[in-house]
Chain A
């Protein structure tokens, strides 16, 4: 289920998934993956087992998904300078998500995007005091507000 391709070509993007308890995450992740791929950017997903499995089951034939890896492993690879990405999108709907974004900002050279959503998205945006591009919307079940926020930033054109 989890794959590991260590030599993707061209521009790469890491999607750091949060806890999948907020429904919009899986939908927006697949949308972002599709937009990135259409722009010629290789997306790699890193999440915990539940977050990864939601994507892998939804995209059984891998129309959208490429490499999927365990989140702890992704952090280890980047922290140990064994691998890095050009873009990094961290999905944030709780304090842990902010911590993961702060971590990626510190250990990775990627352009960092904080994708913030959920019921308390505005409080989380306030808690992000490190350099990154914030993409935020009050989105829990309906992904369209977050899709709109993402479209306005159009990070796939970076």
Chain B
């Protein structure tokens, strides 16, 4: 998964469509917000049909990660600094 491989991530969901992944974030994470494709999270440019939903849960960031052969994964990464950065952008 490129540089994502170096992260300590957990897979929240796999095998769903991008749109199903977006709905999952909106339904399961009270703190969520939309960004446009190309937005960077953890140095990764997000892929998806706009808008792309990102979830926050304390210090945890939940975001979609798409690869051509494997589809969209929802990843969960705990990172205090990135969560704070995203929370600040949201305001």
B-contacting residues of A (Cβ < 8 Å)?
17-19, 21, 47-48, 50-51, 71-72, 75-76, 78-80, 94-100, 102-103, 106-107, 127, 129-130
Contacts and interface: CB of A to CB of B under 8 A. Distances in A.
Contacts of B90: none
Contact of A100 (B17, B40, B66): B66
Nearest to A81: B38
Given A102-B50, A103-B38, A96 B45 contact: no
A106 B36 contact: yes
Interface in B46-91: 46-50, 66-72
B71 A96 contact: yes
Given A94-B71, A96-B71, A102-B37, 13 more contacts: A48-B68, A48-B69, A76-B45, A79-B37, A80-B38, A95-B72, A96-B47, A99-B72, A100-B47, A100-B66, A102-B50, A106-B38, A129-B49
B70 A99 contact: no
Interface residues of B, number: 21
Contacts, number: 74
Contacts of B49: 98-99, 102-103, 129-130
B38 A75 contact: yes
Nearest to B49: A102
A100 B70 CA distance: 13
B69 A21 contact: yes
Interface centre among A79, A94, A127, A129 (most CB of B within 10 A): A79
A42 to B, nearest CB: 23
Contacts of B50: 102, 106, 130
Interface centre among A19, A47, A75, A103 (most CB of B within 10 A): A103
A75 B69 contact: no
29 contacts: A19-B69, A48-B67, A71-B68, A72-B45, A75-B47, A78-B38, A94-B68, A95-B18, A96-B66, A96-B67, A96-B69, A96-B70, A96-B71, A98-B18, A98-B49, A99-B18, A99-B49, A100-B47, A100-B68, A102-B48, A102-B50, A106-B36, A106-B37, A106-B38, A106-B50, A107-B36, A107-B37, A130-B49, A130-B50
